[in-house]
Structure 1
Amino acid sequence: MVTIIVSLVCLLVTFFTYCVFPVLRSGARAKQHLMFLISTNPKSVPSFCKAVGVISHFFWLCMFFCMNVCSFHMFHVFAGSLTTGSSKTKTGNMKVVFRYILYSYGCPMIIVILNILITFFVTGLQNIGYGNNKCFITSLTSYIVTMLVPVIVLCILNIYFFVVTGYKIKNTPRVQCNQSDRHNFIVYVKLFTLTGISWIFQIIDSFLPLSAFSFIVTIFNGFQGLFVFLSYICNKRVFNLYKTLFKDKRKTDLTLATNSSTKTTELNLTS
């Protein structure tokens, strides 16, 4: 509960920051996806437990598909298949974003729906595959096929994309001069490393009995929101944006106070 609360607060600050500063959201590379995972086991409310299981499964998959979009886009940018910010029209950019959103949320939705339908018919219309003994995927086979396999495949693809992108950055002079692209690449690598490693540990722990390792993995996974905050918000660029914002606000307040004082003085003189 502590780690999830900390993560939710960090995600809220991250979301607020991206709302306040549109410049952080410019371009397809900077589209930030915020996921909230509610982990609970309300045995007295089985229908709610099933709903939590379905939603949790969906958003965990979304997180990995979104990260896959990030690594894929960086790979395409540095491979020369996509043009970057200034040369891309707004319409073209929005088409790319739409395709990425469709992929990031459509694929998880298909996986979850197929899991529900197949489990429902295989069990003779008895259950939907969620919430029987925990508020997540009930069957080990379903867990392996609909969660473990997609995560492993996406992680392998991400590693390939990042390795190729890193090679391009190191060996292409044009890329070395593009600080914005390099910054985005570094951020994505940090985020993927933190979240990817934590999920590798989570997968290993799912096949082991409860131990001290289980608690370490749970805490590490619970701080996912903190990792997002550290990767995207805790940098010099965001600090300077907030510094400028507060400086402009002070100037505005001072101007309003000066104008108000001048008007008051004029009124007194008139009286």
Structure 2
Amino acid sequence: MFALSSFDSTQIISKECSQIEVPLQGTCRRIECFPGKIYYQNACVPLLNSASNLRYGMYVGMDVTLKQPLFNRDVLNLIEMWTHTKIANILRIDQWKIQFENSTFLNWKSCNTKATFFSISSRVTFYLHSTLGNRLDVEVGLTKFTKSVYQTTLSDFYAVIQTYQSPKLEPVIENHDDVGACRRFSAVYNTTSMHFKLALINNLLVCKLVTLTHDEFVVESMDRIRLVPSNRLLSFQHFRVSDDGNYQTCIENIKSDFVEENSYIQNPLPAVTGICTIISIVCLFLTFGTYCLFESLRTVPGVNSMYLMATLFFLQLLVLTRNYYIIAPTVPRILLFALTHYMVLCVFFWLMTCSYHMFCVFVKQSISVSMTDRRRTLSNYCIYSFGMPLLIIVGNVCFFLIASSGQEFGYGRQNTLTDDKTAYIVTFITPLSVICLTNSFYFITTAYKIKSTPKVKGLDQSRLHFVVCLKLFFLTGLTWGFQIIDSFLELSVLSYIVAVSNGLQGFFLFMSYVCNTRVWRMYKELWESSMKWFPTGSSHLS
């Protein structure tokens, strides 16, 4: 996200695709639909919303939990009736109008077993001769039925039924007698319905499809393929073979696979960054909580540090979830990238505010200690540290809107902080460079002033704050300086050093602000005072 080289690698991804295409792996791929549907208004809809002679099939697993035990054979009978009723309710027609060609329900327990929990596999196919209206709603409802949780009654017995898409049942049915399983089977043979193609009920029936290229998958069997190079397996419920022999899957399946493969398998850097960021977020939470707990820490430098912790916390939270930006809808994606840009700028400016305050205390000696002036100072710091990043973001958005005649916002077209390399240099690299140089000037000047000034009792606390801020600058500020250098380079060892140092900024803050004698003493006093409220009594026998 922060490397200039990422703009070169994502220029193809930002290629404008037509309304019937989706960008995947640097190319525009045509959006396709299940046979009998067309792509219209960002969805796959039936060519004919009302149709007759429809034939559907489903493989559904069911976990059934009862309040009181029943025989296995009775449960299978009840589940069959419940399933037929649910299908009729979804179709919104009388059950007698549905021709259930095949209904098979199987459980691995003996038919005479009595229990309260049953794991059932099923295969149901049915045919509709009469006209069915609202096909899209019906097919969405049938798909949801295969992966839902129901609280119902089975012949006056309360039950919880969880459904899920299961493997094909034919191999199991052939061997069920050999393993002592219990099966309920019913069938109606109709030569007329066999002329119509069977549509399997799963996500493929209603989702937007994309055709896989030959180098993106390996056929493991007739019912399973493996995506390359992630080795992710897709069952027959998640891919289909078209009439011309092409393999298709839902766009969501292939998009999530590319995100996973690009982020964690080909390049381990995101995984390293993620681990460090999680540690940092936890440490930031603990540090911020410590400052909230002890009022004596909430001086002007302390409050400045709290704002820095808060902005860094939200920034790292956004960075941690940025891999999902690319699959987010357009408007949320634009807002998330803009918010990430805003938060990283806020972190820079609060770093600058912390060093500027120390500069004012020791060099300009212009900071008053009165409560009114303290509030005015903090208000000015907030206006500056939150306002300047906002001006930069607004300026960037306005520039792109004007340059593109209202078509682009400067965010969201690429998986980078901004959509344009020049804008990235102007709105990120330049402010970061200026702030690093300014902070260096503030700290060098302040350090020289402290060294040349005799020790004054009233400045002891300020000297302590300066030492902490100096640690803060070296541990967090300088790491962003390395980020400037790394942004001009390809992936290297420095990239991992920057990822660890920037990712662990919250940990560095925790070590600087919490892991010291003063704070530990505060916690010790708090513990001792709390124990007075909960005295430990003692008793003895005589």
Range into which the TM-score falls when normalised by the shorter chain: 0.7 to 0.9
- The residue aligned with 1:66 is 350
| Bigger CA radius of gyration | 2
- The residue aligned with 1:10 is 283
Q: Output the CA distance in 2 between the equivalents of 1:163 and 1:95.
A: 27
Task: Indicate the structure with greater helix content.
Answer: 1
Matched-pair contact (CA < 8 Å) for 1:205–1:213:
yes
Partner AA of 1:29 in structure 2: P
Please report how far the alpha carbon of residue 106 of structure 1 lies from its aligned counterpart in structure 2 after TM superposition: 0.5
Q: Output the CA distance in 1 between the equivalents of 2:399 and 2:277.
A: 32
Matched-pair contact (CA < 8 Å) for 1:170–1:176:
no
Are 1:44 and 2:317 counterparts?
no
- The residue aligned with 1:29 is 301
**Secondary structure of the corresponding residue to residue 323 of structure 2:** coil
Please report how far the alpha carbon of residue 126 of structure 1 lies from its aligned counterpart in structure 2 after TM superposition: 2.2
Please report how far the alpha carbon of residue 120 of structure 1 lies from its aligned counterpart in structure 2 after TM superposition: 1.8
Which of 362, 375, 392 lines up with 1:78 in the alignment? Answer: 362
**Secondary structure of the corresponding residue to residue 407 of structure 2:** coil
Please report how far the alpha carbon of residue 61 of structure 1 lies from its aligned counterpart in structure 2 after TM superposition: 0.9
Please report how far the alpha carbon of residue 113 of structure 1 lies from its aligned counterpart in structure 2 after TM superposition: 0.8
Please report how far the alpha carbon of residue 174 of structure 1 lies from its aligned counterpart in structure 2 after TM superposition: 4.1
Offset from partner CA, 1:10-57 (integer Å, 9 cap, x none): 01101110111011002x121122222212132221433322211111
- The residue aligned with 2:396 is 115
Please report how far the alpha carbon of residue 59 of structure 1 lies from its aligned counterpart in structure 2 after TM superposition: 1.1
Q: Which moved more, 1:104-113 or 1:197-206?
A: 197-206
Are 1:56 and 2:340 counterparts?
yes
Q: Which moved more, 1:90-99 or 1:29-38?
A: 29-38
Partner AA of 1:30 in structure 2: G
Q: How many positions carry a matched residue from both structures? A: 254
Q: Output the CA distance in 1 between the equivalents of 2:528 and 2:378.
A: 33
Partner AA of 1:41 in structure 2: N
Are 1:189 and 2:463 counterparts?
no
Distance 1:192 1:176, change over 3 A: farther
- The residue aligned with 1:199 is 480
Which of 504, 510, 514 lines up with 1:223 in the alignment? Answer: 504
Q: Output the CA distance in 1 between the equivalents of 2:397 and 2:498.
A: 28
Matched-pair contact (CA < 8 Å) for 1:148–1:203:
yes
Please report how far the alpha carbon of residue 123 of structure 1 lies from its aligned counterpart in structure 2 after TM superposition: 2.3
Partner AA of 1:17 in structure 2: T
Q: Output the CA distance in 1 between the equivalents of 2:507 and 2:397.
A: 32
TM-score, normalised by the number of residues in structure 2: 0.45
Q: Output the CA distance in 2 between the equivalents of 1:78 and 1:160.
A: 13
Q: Output the CA distance in 2 between the equivalents of 1:99 and 1:243.
A: 35
Q: Output the CA distance in 2 between the equivalents of 1:19 and 1:247.
A: 19
Q: Output the CA distance in 2 between the equivalents of 1:49 and 1:193.
A: 34
Please report how far the alpha carbon of residue 166 of structure 1 lies from its aligned counterpart in structure 2 after TM superposition: 0.5
Please report how far the alpha carbon of residue 92 of structure 1 lies from its aligned counterpart in structure 2 after TM superposition: 1.1
Gaps of at least 5 residues in structure 1 are 262-271
Partner AA of 1:112 in structure 2: I
Q: Output the CA distance in 2 between the equivalents of 1:214 and 1:80.
A: 39
Gaps of at least 5 residues in structure 2 are 1-273
Matches within 5 A, 1:78-97: 78-83=362-367, 88-97=369-378
Please report how far the alpha carbon of residue 164 of structure 1 lies from its aligned counterpart in structure 2 after TM superposition: 1.0
Q: Output the CA distance in 1 between the equivalents of 2:354 and 2:479.
A: 18
Offset from partner CA, 1:159-193 (integer Å, 9 cap, x none): 11111111111111145873211111111111111
Partner AA of 2:411 in structure 1: Y
Task: Indicate the structure with greater strand content.
Answer: 2
Q: Output the CA distance in 2 between the equivalents of 1:81 and 1:233.
A: 27
Higher relative contact order (CA 8 A, sep 6+): 1
Distance 1:138 1:176, change over 3 A: farther
Are 1:98 and 2:371 counterparts?
no
Matched-pair contact (CA < 8 Å) for 2:436–2:481:
no
Matched-pair contact (CA < 8 Å) for 1:72–1:161:
yes
Partner AA of 1:131 in structure 2: G
Which of 445, 451, 460 lines up with 1:170 in the alignment? Answer: 451
Report percent identity of matched pairs. Answer: 39
- The residue aligned with 1:212 is 493
- The residue aligned with 1:269 is none
Distance 1:220 1:245, change over 3 A: same
Partner AA of 1:79 in structure 2: V
Matched-pair contact (CA < 8 Å) for 1:7–1:224:
yes
TM-score, normalised by the number of residues in structure 1: 0.88
Q: Output the CA distance in 2 between the equivalents of 1:83 and 1:141.
A: 39
